[in-house]
Chains A and B, each alone.
Chain A
Amino acid sequence: MDYALIIATALGAIALYLLLPRGRANMVKLGGLASVLAMGVGITYLIHWTAAAHAGHTGIIENLFFYAFAALALVSAAGVVCHPKPLYAALYFVLMTLAVSGLFIMLMAEFIAVVLIIIYAGAILVTYVFVIMLASQGGQTPAAQYDTNSSDGFMAVFVSFVLLGTVLQAIFCAGPAGFMHSLPAPHAVAHGLGSLEVLGANLYSRYALPLELAGILLTISLVGAVMIARKNEPVAHVLGTGDLPAE
């Protein structure tokens, strides 16, 4: 058991619960304070932990980038669930995708990083934004009640943070030595694991069958989309209002 970690997780849970949008009194300021505290505790813990893991050696620039991207990812992830306006929530999702792809680039996994941007930010979220735009038209129009209030906020926060706490305990309680042991060394990652050639070779040899199956699935869904989108041609295209003339 690691009490600092438990405190950070609990603070995070309280912060997120307070920040969730509700119809009655908003406790955004209190929630903000709690989230700052939670992140403070978490970052302090992480700094101590990495210092122990590397026996005092800290690559200060890489760590700075890591903390910046990680904080951005956390804040924007909270923004996704906490912002009362749906369009802002979707945009926070885009920001989170960018932050996470920044973290991937730091791990030398450039391909995953760019694919994350292309697929999530460039395709899926554009569709979200498109739909939200169509649903709620423009500017300062107030959104509907069901869009602004979170439903079952307590249960959601409770379950997700219990899960998060368990995973964090499992990772960090093994101690720096145990955890670092199970990871490939940084230079091994730099010289191949993340590179396109290795990825491609693996995809087309070891994982050829899953890849082909995914391809077939995509083809089927493409055909399905075409079938759904196909219009049943009506007899006549009628514009205008009013009843049919009564002959």
Chain B
Amino acid sequence: MVGVFIAHLIFALVMLGMVTGIIAYLILLERKTAAWIQDRIGPNRVGPQGLLQPLADGVKFILKEEFMPIHADKILFILAPIVIIAPALCGFAVIPWGGDLAAGTALPKFLGGWAFPHTFHVMVANPQIGVLFVIAMASLSVYGVVLAGWASGSKYSFLGGLRATAQMISYEIPMVLSLLSVAVVAGTLRLGPITDLQATYFSSVSFLPAWNVFTQPVAFLLFVTCIFAESNRTPFDLAECEQELVGGYHTEYSSMKFALFFLAEYSAMITGSAVAVALFLGGWHLPWIDQLLYHGAQPVATGWLGMLLKFVVFWGKVIAFLFFYMWVRWTLPRFRFDQLMNLAWRGMIPLSLATFVMASVFVYLRQEGIIEHRGWLLLGNVVLIGIMFAVTELRPADSGNRRMYVLNSRYNPIPASAKAELESAV
């Protein structure tokens, strides 16, 4: 009992250290990626190849002046950075990052050599509501943004907060539905078993691993889009777009409080990527090479060496996904606000509902024993994409970019017909 508690404590500390350490270097990676895409060199002055830059940034953040605007609501102004970072870090607790330790695996000698009596899940916590916990923490992260925007007493912050709230509420719905369509096929909400089910192949001859990204590509696409929107990054960074709102909801923040917003954004990114990896990209599963190592699919329960391998594979995937985040940020331009809302409410929510219904039908047919193979799910997804394009063609043409007529304008004068109607209305 005490051993299990200590093991969980160690896992929690390892995760906290990993996440905060990775955040520091993510900022460097972000700047290096930006430089690479824009054909620059990037930070290269502090340490070899600029590797000590995160340290310099941290010291700079701490030494900067703390500033609070006179119209700010003091309590909420201080509370906001705390409220935004706590759920962002909490969400990581239910991520499985090392499979299982087999029963009988002993701790190293210097830790007492105590052996686990049962199979041990390598994660901080394994509640039966895993996926829902992730969703709950994601839904709480809105408050930090709202409070920061409101408490600053500044128009830029306020507008940024409003935009961010509307966006995060809208994109939460397709995110939840895409997560649920994965959970309903797996038949559980625990993240561990959902990952374990993916550590196999479509069939013995096939070389395609049975990851959820291959069985449910539509859900994956929806989920990835939503986590981009949830963490307020380009192309969804309307809440903090520099050209319009200075810095958005954190305009008035400085010093370490601003750093906390930065940390929260990056830890939300890490948690989002970790959930994407665990639920869609096979988690710790190392495809193809596991057939050489284990002569078959990778086993769920292993000893310490196997766990270490899984740990490396999992974090490798997460970092690759994080790089994808940055790649997108420095490649795609920002949406306009009405495009953003249209995408969520008229595009993604109906599509995610359709995905969810299709996954439920698959589960029903599997229960009845009519279809067995996961390939049917992939086929269903392909059909769904086809239907989506057909419906898009049939839908009445969107008015798209509407022309805004401006009174007394030289460029967009009100047309004569409209003017007559307006006058009659007035």
| Contacts from A to B (Cβ < 8 Å) | 87, 91, 94, 110-111, 114-115, 117-118, 121-123, 126-127, 129-130, 133-134, 137-140, 195-196, 235-242, 244-245
Contact = CB atoms under 8 A, between A and B. Distances in A.
Interface in B128-181: 128-129, 132-133, 135-136, 139-140, 142-143, 146-147, 149-155, 157-158, 161-162, 165-166, 169, 172
B146 A114 contact: no
B132 A244 contact: no
B415 interface: yes
B408 A139 contact: no
B248 to A, nearest CB: 14
A237 B158 contact: no
Contacts of B402: 237
Given A137-B158, A236-B419, A237-B404, 9 more contacts: A87-B150, A118-B132, A118-B135, A121-B143, A123-B169, A134-B162, A138-B73, A138-B151, A236-B405
A87 B151 CA distance: 10
- What's the interface size class on B, roughly? 35 or more
A138 B405 contact: no
Contact of A244 (B128, B136, B149, B419): B419
A137 B155 CA distance: 9
A220 B129 CA distance: 29
B150 A138 contact: yes
B414 interface: yes
7 contacts: A121-B143, A133-B150, A138-B157, A196-B128, A235-B425, A239-B406, A242-B407
A136 B139 CA distance: 23
Interface of B: 69, 71-73, 76, 127-129, 132-133, 135-136, 139-140, 142-143, 146-147, 149-155, 157-158, 161-162, 165-166, 169, 172, 189, 402-409, 414-415, 418-419, 421-423, 425-426
B422 A235 contact: yes
Interface centre among A121, A235, A237, A238 (most CB of B within 10 A): A235
B155 to A, nearest CB: 8
Contacts of A134: 162
Interface of B is mostly: helix
Contacts of B405: 236-239
A138 B142 CA distance: 17
Given A110-B127, A139-B152, A238-B406, A133 B146 contact: yes
B146 A126 contact: yes
Contacts of A111: 128-129, 132
A140 B154 CA distance: 11
A138 B71 contact: yes
A148 to B, nearest CB: 15
B351 to A, nearest CB: 16
Nearest to B149: A133
A139 B146 contact: no
A127 B419 CA distance: 38
B161 to A, nearest CB: 7
B426 A244 contact: yes
Nearest to B423: A244
A114 B133 contact: yes
A238 B157 CA distance: 27
Candidate in B149, B404, B407 with the most chain A CB atoms within 10 angstroms: B407
B140 A121 contact: yes
B396 to A, nearest CB: 12
A114 B136 contact: yes
A244 B169 CA distance: 39
Nearest to A126: B142
Given A240-B407, A240-B408, A195 B142 contact: no
A133 B161 CA distance: 10
Contacts of B143: 91, 94, 121, 126, 129
Contacts of A240: 406-409
Contacts of B152: 138-139
Contacts of B69: 139
A139 B143 CA distance: 16
